[in-house]
């Protein structure tokens, strides 16, 4: 599975196809260093983590193009692959099993919050351009009481917009209904 940030649409599309009959508990899960990336609870929905890779795993498995795309993002925040963690989780209804969206997290240890958010937004825009679409104009907004950047997406992404939020050294990218994203964002620091 591709892990490149510049291939959000492929990762989201592939992750969206994965549906399991068992719920995954939505809670903070400690990483290798013991720090937790908060995973919000969504009323009656469950999360399925389909991608969970460190920078070294991405370096070992990514193709040249993917590695170059990650390198741009990391360069924008002054980091290396050693600082990177990437996850993608699909949200789904465990009773009826439809996928209702997803959440990607990009953690870059020690990254400046604004620089990380801006690098992720730039990457989403780059992905839209790679589909031959015009560059969307990112919009600042408040959703779930959090400051976010909304990037409009073409139909090929399967969602109207990517909602990008960053806190400390973690950027969250939500591809889901705005009301559901608001519920998730309210629970994040």
- Total structural domains within the chain: 1
pLDDT at 23: 30
The string of DSSP letters for 25-87 reads P-S-EE-TTS-EE-----TT-EEEEEEEEEHHHHHHH--HHHHHHHHHHHHHTT--GGGEEEE
Kindly report the backbone phi and psi dihedral angles of residue 58, in degrees, each rounded to the nearest multiple of 5, phi listed first.
Answer: -65, -45
Q: What is the pLDDT of residue 87?
A: 96
Separation between Cα atoms, residue 158 and residue 13, nearest integer Å: 8
12 Cβ neighbours under 8 A, 6+ residues apart: 88, 102, 104, 157, 158, 159, 175
What pLDDT score does 35 carry? 60
Q: Which residue shows structure tokens 């990650």?
A: 70
Query: So what's the pLDDT on residue 6?
Result: 43
Which residue stretches of the chain have pLDDT < 50? Answer: 1-3, 6, 8-32, 34
Q: Which domain holds residue 115?
A: 5-186
What's the pLDDT score for residue 36? 62
């Amino acid at each position: 599975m591709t892990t490149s940030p510049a291939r959000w649409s492929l990762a989201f599309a592939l992750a969206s196809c994965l549906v399991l009959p068992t719920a995954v508990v939505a809670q903070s899960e400690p990483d290798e260093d013991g720090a937790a990336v908060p995973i919000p609870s969504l009323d009656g929905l469950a999360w399925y983590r389909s991608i969970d890779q460190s920078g070294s795993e991405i370096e070992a498995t990514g193709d040249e193009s993917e590695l170059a795309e990650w390198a741009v993002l990391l360069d924008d925040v002054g980091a290396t692959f050693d600082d990177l963690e990437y996850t993608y989780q699909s949200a789904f209804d465990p009773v009826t099993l439809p996928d209702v969206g997803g959440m990607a997290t990009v953690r870059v240890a020690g990254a400046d919050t604004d620089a990380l958010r801006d690098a992720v937004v730039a990457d989403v825009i780059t992905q839209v351009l790679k589909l031959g679409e015009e560059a969307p104009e990112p919009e600042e907004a408040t959703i779930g009481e959090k400051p976010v950047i909304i990037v409009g997406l073409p139909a090929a992404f399967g969602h109207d917009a990517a909602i990008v939020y960053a806190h400390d050294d973690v950027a969250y990218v939500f591809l889901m209904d705005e009301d559901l994203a608001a519920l998730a964002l309210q629970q994040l620091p």
